[in-house]
Amino acid sequence: MTTTHTGAGAGIAAASPTTTRHVPGQPDMWFFVVFESLIFTSYFCVYLFNRARHETAFLQGQSHLVLWLGVLDTVVLLTSSWAVARSIQHARAGHHEAATRAALLTAACGVVFLALKIVEWTRLIHMGKTFTSGAFFPYYFFLTGIHCVHLLIGFVVLGLLLKQLSDPRRRSQETVETCATYWHTVDFFWVLIFALLYVVR
């Protein structure tokens, strides 16, 4: 069922043109992206609706967030997206070692992001701002938490990507691109969450 339109297997660098395929990676993964985006959009709508009703309380909560930490998170994830895109480019050209290095960089960025998040959450909890306190922080912890779950799934996906790259017999460009699509989605959701929680005041 999974057919590869670009050259499958090692060595076939000059692949046939990709005119037969309309999206990179499995089309099914794009279904997931769209569906999850709809769900996240609904969460954001709920957030904005409730924020509009209790603006002062939300602003009060948001004031405890450190903007530059959020910016740093965003930069780290954007870097990881760039890295995974490079990895796909290398894989497409047949440079599998370079692709692997880029994928490892992606994972490293992911770990850094996770570490930053843990630092941020710990700081907030020590300040007395927990999941259940106030009007803003349930949303904050929920959105960043569910995003983090997606990130953790992303690590599994990256693991699959690395496995694909390492084993010449089982390599599938489509699977590799599908993994990258997922990772980009994780980044995309973060950018939206960052904008909503940290920036919109």
Partner 1 sequence: MTRRARWTDPKRELWLAWYATVAFYSLYAVVFFLVTRTQPPGKPWYTPEQVAGWFAGRHTGLLVGFALIFVLGGLSATALALITYSIRRMSVSRAFAYSYLILYAIAAVPGFLFICVAMTVGTMRPGRDPAVLRWLYDLGFLSFSGTMGVFLLGSLIWMTAILLDRNGVFPKWFAYLNLCNALTEVVVAPSWLFHGGVLAWNGTIAWWINVVVFGIYTGTFIHLLRQVILREDFGTGPLPAAPRRDSAHRVLEEVMAS
Instruction: Say how far apart CA 62 and CA 54 lie, in whole Å.
Output: 12
x/- track of binding to partner 1 for residues 90-119 (CB under 8 A): ------------------------------
Q: How far is the CB of 68 from partner 1 (least distance, A)?
A: 28
Q: Which residue in 59, 67, 142, 163 binds partner 1 (CB under 8 A)?
A: 142
Q: Which residue in 4, 50, 133, 166 binds partner 1 (CB under 8 A)?
A: 50
Q: Is 32 in the site for partner 1 (CB under 8 A)?
A: yes
Contact stretch for partner 1 (CB under 8 A) within 36-44, 84-92, 97-105, 117-125:
36-44
Nearer to partner 1, 94 or 134 (CB): 134
Q: Long-range contacts of range 60-63, CB-CB < 8 Å, 24 or more positions apart?
A: 60/134, 60/136, 61/129, 61/134, 61/135, 61/136, 61/137, 61/140, 62/136, 62/197, 62/198, 62/201
Buried b (16+ CB within 10 A) or exposed e, 8-34: eeeeeeeeeeeeeeeebbbeebbeebe
Sites of contact with partner 1 (CB under 8 A)? 1-2, 26-29, 31-32, 35-36, 39, 42-43, 46, 50, 131-132, 138-139, 142, 146, 149, 153
